[in-house]
Structure formats: structure tokens, C-alpha cells
Structure 1
Amino acid sequence: MKIEAIRHQAGSVVARSTLIYDGATAERRPLLLVSSNWLGMTYESTQRAAKLAGSKYIVLLADMYGEGKAAATSAEIVDRANALRADVAERRRRMAAALEALISASQERGIGDLSCKAAVGFCFGGGNVLELARDGADLSAAICVHGDLSTNQPANAGDIKASVFVLHGAADPVVTKAARDAFEGEMTAAGAKWQMMTFGKALHSFSEEETNVPGISQFEPGIATQTYKMIDDYLAGALAGLL
């Protein structure tokens, strides 16, 4: 698996995103933009992105904080993530720039099928992916895994081109059922193609081993395995124009 640093401008920061692909596969593959949880560019997020890439996709793990940073303290994590949550325009600019960096890098290397593009995000990254979709990005699919669902700039009718898939924990105390209901209303009003899978009793971050916090987030191995299978199936269907 090839892992390359890609420097690019992303809104107000210079990003150091990570391009990941199987160099032994000669055929052009769909492009998959991946956005990590609020910890940033960590070892764990890179491993998840590589797992998603496999031999099927050209992946770019998007650097949202600049210079490939990973948050070091709880206060730093909250400050960085909340600053972008509050500034939706900047959040969308950084995601759009990451998508453009993925397209450019794939084109330069002759490895990507530029007609097939999708995005997957986890937690904070799931919210990033949804903001990219709300902004009208040219994506076949936007997948949000236990992510932010709320926004202060909801989509208008016709804004969303991507087919949207949300996987969420029914007992998530971070993004509650009220937020899920509001999101469903937003997607329906916008005329989006969307689906939501809710896992009973699951808390926040059920697919991430490193983010356990008692009563808030809990890794669930079985649900995590199912989640990756569902991501793979949904991507295949959306990229084939079936969803």
C-alpha cells in the first residue's frame, strides 16, 4: 500500500493530507475522500483509511487542521473542531479543497477514475462529509458514520447531488434522536436521496477502537464489522448509479 503526503491549500490553512492506494493495482479506481474523527491525522485514522482503500479505491485522508496535525489535548481537540463547526463556510472550503487535491493527485498519477467519486467520514469527519454534500459537491455517495448531523446552513431543495447514507447509534448521547429527526426532515425537504441505519443500544464512535469514553462512546466490534461491509456495499451501489 502506498501512502503519500499531499500538500495543498485548504481554505485558510496549508493542509498535509494523505493519499493512500494499492500501487500493485494497475486499473483506474474510484476516488474516495475520507475525513477522520476530531483527533485529526492520527495513526488510527490512517489505518482506517487504508482499510477502506484496499485495492478498490484511491483514498485521500483529508487534513482539516493544517500541516497534518493531530490534536494533543482535550482542550485543543474541542477548540479546533468547534471552531470549524461554527464556521461552516470554512469547513466546506477545506473539504472541497481536499476533494480537489484527491482529483489532482489521482489525475497526475493516472490511477483514478475521475467520473466516480465518493466520501466517507467518521464522527466529526462524518459532519465534514455532510457539509461537503450540502455544498453541492459532485459525489455519487456521502457516508456519515456516527457523525455530526446538525448544521447552521441546512441544505435547500436541489442542493445535494450525492446519495447520503448515515450509520448511527440509537443510544448516541452526543448526536441524539432529536438531531436525527431534524436531519431526516432536512434531507427530505431538500429532496435528497438518503438512507439511515440505526444500531440499537450503540453509543457514539462504535467503529473506532481508540475513542472509548464510559457512557459516551464505545467500540462495538460486531457493529464495526457490519459497518464496513455496509459502507462497501453502499459505495458499490451508489457508484454504479443504483442508489
Structure 2
Amino acid sequence: MNRLRSTPTAIIIATLLTSTQVSAQMQTETLEYVVDGETFTGYLAWDDQLERRRPGILVVHEWWGHNEFAREQARKLAKEGYTAFALDMYGSGKQAEHPDTAQKFMREATADMDRVEARFTKAMALLQHHESVDPERIAAQGYCFGGAVVLNMARLGLDLDGVVSYHGALASPIQANPETLRAKVQVYTGGADAMVPSDQVAGLVREMQNAGADLTLVSFPGVKHSFTNPNADRIAEQFGMPVAYDQEAATRAWRGTLQFYRELFEDQ
């Protein structure tokens, strides 16, 4: 068990900034919380018509920061019967509009892996303590930068049932260990992703096989980086980046993710 679940008396402090009823069932909250003296802003979404406690899913944003795309993924998960928390890895107000700023924020956030873990586990604790969540059923999914984050949290042995990476970097200085790896792993990548070349894909497969991981990896032929984000085409045109939205790949990845969660949590 990780340190969060082994300390059920931990005090969780967060400030509710806004609470919204999106539909007759959908509820959302914007939460402000503190990690190591720095303020972060996350976003919760759940269906309050479901009486049972349900699995919680953490959503980790792209390198642009905690934005509307990440929040939309949380709402989509809530519509499927989960409680989702779109967490913040950068700090309140740190949303990038230019790749140079995004790169700066990402480097600052990932300069210390202990810092990455602390920010992730604080958000995980907030989700686990929500009244709608079964704290023993937690998974995480991430996009681009966030995909790398969730894979690294699995590598570190956090008590996650599963992680899903969408067009995330697959290489890491951390290597999965068969003695600590707990999560089942699902990866979606583009076959034409210049930021995640084939050697990274092959390296991840070797790493996960050596760790005895339950790995599902899907590579979409001809698909570029950021294929799940409808804004990718605008970004490609504006900044000349090798990214592109692909509706078919995004739809297949989403369907595969929902099937992954159904199978993951039905086993418990």
C-alpha cells in the first residue's frame, strides 16, 4: 500500500472555489489546494444521482497546463459513472499559450521527481476522500506530458489500479520494477508521432515485459502527436508543431479506455 492509503487519518485541506450543477445529475467543483506551500487548482466532476461509491479517475493535463481540455475529459468520465479529478501539476494560474512557456512550466514541474510525486499523490488523496469515491478503486489517465506523468507514477509503484497514457512520452529515467509495479498499463500512441519515436515504443514494451506488467499498447498508423485534442490542428498551424487531431484515433482510444476501466473494476 502506498503512504496515502496506509494513513487514513491524514488531514486533507482544500478550498471549494466554485460548485456547478452542469445537468440534472452532473456536478462539478473547482478546488484550490496546497502542496509544499504552493497553491494548485483542480476540477472535480461526478454524477450525484448515483448512490453507490464508484471508482475515481485522475486526469493529468497536457504540457499546456490545467485547462478546459483537461476539464472536459473529467466531465466525460463523470458521464460514464466515475468521479474524475482533473488535477494541476504546475500551480494555480499556470496555463501556457505558447510552446516556450509550456516547456518552461513542464521543466519546472519535472525537475524533481519527488515534487512530481507529491503533487500527484496530494490530488490522489483529495479524490480518494471525496464522498462519492471508493478509495480502493483509483486509476489515472494523462495526455502528452500527463501521459508521461501517469506512467511514471505506475513505475514508482503507487497504488493505482490502472493508468492510461495518450500520446505521452514513453522513455523515462525510472524503470518499472516487478516488485513494485501494481497498475495495469494502457498506452495509445501515434505511429507518426515525431515526439514519441519507435525506439521509445519498443523500449517501453521491453521495460514492461521485464517488469511483468499487464500492458496494452495501441499504435495508430499515420497518426501524429496530440491526436486526442481538437485544438491540435490550430496549434500546428500557429506554431508549426508536428501535431494533429485525429478523430478516428481519438474515438478508438476513448472506447478502449472505457473498456479498460470496465474490466479493471469489474475484477474487484
- Scaled by the length of structure 1, the TM-score of the pair is 0.91
Distance in 1 (alpha carbons) for counterparts of 2:133 and 2:62: 25
Shift of 1:113: 1.7
1:152 corresponding residue in structure 2 = 173
Which runs of 5 or more residues in structure 2 are unaligned?
1-25
Q: CA contact under 8 A between 1:25 and 1:55: conserved in structure 2?
A: no
Distance in 2 (alpha carbons) for counterparts of 1:207 and 1:175: 15
Q: CA contact under 8 A between 2:94 and 2:105: conserved in structure 1?
A: no
Q: CA contact under 8 A between 1:63 and 1:69: conserved in structure 2?
A: no
Which runs of 5 or more residues in structure 1 are unaligned?
none
Asked if residue 82 in structure 1 is aligned to residue 107 in structure 2, the reply is: yes
Seq. identity, %: 28
Report the count of equivalent residues. 238
What do the CA deviations read for 1:30-84 (whole angstroms, capped 9, x no partner)? 1111111111121222112211221410000010111253123322111111233
- When residues 20 and 90 of structure 1 are mapped into structure 2, their CA distance, relative to the original with a 3 A threshold, is same
Asked if residue 225 in structure 1 is aligned to residue 265 in structure 2, the reply is: no
AA paired with 1:148?
Answer: A
Asked if residue 28 in structure 1 is aligned to residue 53 in structure 2, the reply is: yes
Aligned partner of residue 102 in structure 1, secondary structure = helix
2:65 corresponding residue in structure 1 = 40
2:91 corresponding residue in structure 1 = 66
Shift of 1:96: 1.5
Aligned partner of residue 209 in structure 1, secondary structure = coil
Asked if residue 200 in structure 1 is aligned to residue 221 in structure 2, the reply is: yes
Distance in 2 (alpha carbons) for counterparts of 1:10 and 1:179: 32
| Regions of 4+ moved over 4 Å | none
Distance in 2 (alpha carbons) for counterparts of 1:150 and 1:92: 17
- Scaled by the length of structure 2, the TM-score of the pair is 0.83
- When residues 227 and 122 of structure 1 are mapped into structure 2, their CA distance, relative to the original with a 3 A threshold, is same
2:9 corresponding residue in structure 1 = none
Trace 1:155-234 onto structure 2 (pairs within 5 A). 155-212=176-233, 213=236, 216-234=242-260
1:120 corresponding residue in structure 2 = 141
> Which structure has the higher relative contact order (CA within 8 Å, separation 6+)?
1
